[in-house]
Amino acid sequence: MSEIISISVDVMGGDTGPAVTVPGCALALERLPNTRFILVGDETQIKAVLENYPELEEKSEVIHTDVAVGMDDKPSQALRRGRRVSSMWVALAAVADKRAGFAVSAGNTGALMAMARFALKMMPNVSRPAIAAIWPTIPGESIVLDVGATIGVDSERLVDFAVMGEAMARALFGIERPSVGLLNIGVEEVKGLEEVRIAHRMLRSSNIPMQYKGFVEGDDIGKGSVDVVVTEGFSGNIALKTAEGTAKQFAAYLRSAMSQTFLSRIGFLLARSAFARLREKMDPRKSNGGVFLGLNGIVIKSHGGTDAEGFAAAVALGYEMTSNNLLDNISADLTLHRASVDAEAETGQEGEKQDK
Amino acid sequence: MSEIISISVDVMGGDTGPAVTVPGCALALERLPNTRFILVGDETQIKAVLENYPELEEKSEVIHTDVAVGMDDKPSQALRRGRRVSSMWVALAAVADKRAGFAVSAGNTGALMAMARFALKMMPNVSRPAIAAIWPTIPGESIVLDVGATIGVDSERLVDFAVMGEAMARALFGIERPSVGLLNIGVEEVKGLEEVRIAHRMLRSSNIPMQYKGFVEGDDIGKGSVDVVVTEGFSGNIALKTAEGTAKQFAAYLRSAMSQTFLSRIGFLLARSAFARLREKMDPRKSNGGVFLGLNGIVIKSHGGTDAEGFAAAVALGYEMTSNNLLDNISADLTLHRASVDAEAETGQEGEKQDK
């Protein structure tokens, strides 16, 4: 019997708020019986939905808040209006106070990240947060980070991202030494941005528990060439959105092709279980949930437009991270990495001394 | 009757050289009778293939070269070994000397770009080249640039790319005022890189013949939200490769789903014409060919691993660009753009004077 994990939920976040988030929590509870919920938001609205889910009601505490952060609020606006008083903030504060193991919100990403940085603070030795996405691949799943938290980072930040991503892969996939690649254009060392090249050299000589595979290109993500793909937030976000766009495009082509002739329509009917399996495989709800990394607490960002199934997947993702001690793993690996950097600096100095 | 266009071909470029490029030219000639070919490379190898294509032989001039640039040669290596003497260089030189309307090569991108910059020189007022890709979308096709020529450009270069992309869309799609978007993360003006934000302000106030639609995100590319998507080379290359990876992933899922059960296999057989149509729609050969922009001459980069069909598509793309006077269009639009920038600067100065 594992211990019970408390989950704080920003019930008001997302395009539809309680109508999706509360049933999502109910679904998650069915699958994860060792959980309790702290439901934060408008009490009247929450209770109106919650009464349909007696099992969830029994395992939940409702915390009333008057303010809900809007989906279009800018981070600065959200902080001004919502600090200490919004459902988003109070859900994060429960993680800061150790009353919850992790927080989930379908609210707007920029506001959630800004509030999380205030409410939870950065981990020691980490200066910039990252958002990690679970990316479905041909053989299974990979982790891609950063997909939009920080733009234009330097090489040390890229190395931090590699360490955090590797720790997350161990927690999520149960792999002892996950393979890690650095997203670049071309696999020659001469190509690519200066920061990416420096990070490459740093990762090659680090002793963190991973297999560093060097540079990977955009098409390696879908192939699943590595467990963890590291990049800065601008290109990571563009890669993520471009893949979403391509998947939709393929689905549109397929629909149009299958409805074109009488025979193709019959074929489609006969193969409908295969198409259902394909749809399930491509289902964005299954890999719903970006994990905020680098903070003193686990925060899961659910897609704003998701349904109860997708929200439950985001909750399950947080549960997985929390029960596998993601934060402790990251801390330990960061310490290990710093030690290897320091040791190398010392050796380097000694080498210099000997040169004299 | 339009005039005859001469096409210079780096026959030795690509994974298979003459075995693909010569039949590719023969296919292109069938479709584009108003063409002549300058086939550059090892004469013996070329003639061995060419004798199977008497129509092409009749319309071709063969120029012998001893040196072929390798697919893995670094640009500096290629220039050292191949300047003036390689099939790649001599094909480009034919464009510089106006003996050819454009050049096609399936050789390695870095080497081809380096040689093209030497052999053709940059257009006046353009400081950095771009590679434009034709991107299949749900409603049709768009142009995305830069997909890998220049990394980390500033705002003025992004504006140059927008001008060149817009001119290319007019030449290729025959649209009078193509819609143009700037690739960014999030559609709020506050987000994204500084250079992207400055380019955004510059494009809003430019009077070049386009509809500037502001920021677009990665998923807008596949949707076909705009005719031209502008970005710098690092994120553009990652977007392109990521989309390729996602398309392959979808195809792998589909294959596996359709072969799983007896009924799905029957369904697949019945719908095979639909699947053939889908395959054709997703066929990377159809959109084979990156266009080098910003040089005093048109150069088409074919995929190194393409077949004759794909090589013929690259030739057809160059033909389209050349017969629609792409270079003159770009020059005219750049001049128009500079004039509008200068006019604005003058108005700004006058405004300042009046303020005094």
Q: Do A219 and B238 touch (CB under 8 A)?
A: no
Q: What pLDDT, in 10s, does the model give residues B125-158?
A: 898 999 999 999 999 999 999 998 988 888 999 9
Angle between helices B75-82 and B87-96 (to 10 degrees): 80
Question: ∠ CA(B130), CA(B131), CA(B134), 5° rounding?
Answer: 135
Global confidence as pTM: 0.90
Say if residues B111 and B73 touch (Cβ distance below 8 Å).
Answer: yes
The pLDDT value given to residue A1: 44
- The answer to whether residue B247 neighbours chain A at the CB level (below 8 Å) is yes
Using DSSP's 3-state secondary structure scheme, residue B121 falls into coil
Burial class (CB within 10 angstroms; exposed 0-12, middle 13-18, buried 19+) of B72: exposed
- CB-based contact, A5 to chain B, within 8 Å: no
Best CA proximity match to A126, nearest among A95, A74, A169, A161: A161
- CB distance B274–A253 less than 8 Å? no
Residues B185 and B191: their CA atoms lie apart, in Å, by 7
User: Do the beta carbons of residue A209 and residue A170 sit within 8 Å?
Assistant: yes
User: Where do the domains of chain A lie, and which CATH numbers do they carry?
Assistant: 1-121+295-324 (3.40.718.10), 133-286+326-356 (3.40.718.10)
Q: What values do phi and psi take at A57, rounded to 5?
A: -55, -40
Interface membership of B195 toward A (CB under 8 Å): no
In tens, the pLDDT along B171-209 reads 999 999 999 999 998 755 456 688 899 999 999 988 888
Smallest Cβ–Cβ distance between B239 and the set A193, A218, A269 belongs to A218
Q: What was the ipTM of the complex prediction?
A: 0.87
pLDDT tens series, chain A, 356 aa: 468 999 999 999 999 999 999 999 999 999 999 999 999 999 999 999 999 999 999 999 999 999 999 988 989 999 999 999 999 999 999 999 999 999 999 999 999 999 999 999 999 889 899 999 999 999 999 999 999 898 888 899 999 999 999 999 999 999 999 999 999 987 554 566 888 999 999 999 888 889 999 999 999 999 999 999 999 999 999 999 999 898 888 888 888 887 878 887 888 778 777 777 777 776 767 777 899 999 999 999 999 989 999 999 999 999 999 999 999 999 998 888 888 777 777 765 544 444 43
Hey, which residues 90-119 in chain A have their CB within 8 Å of chain B? 110
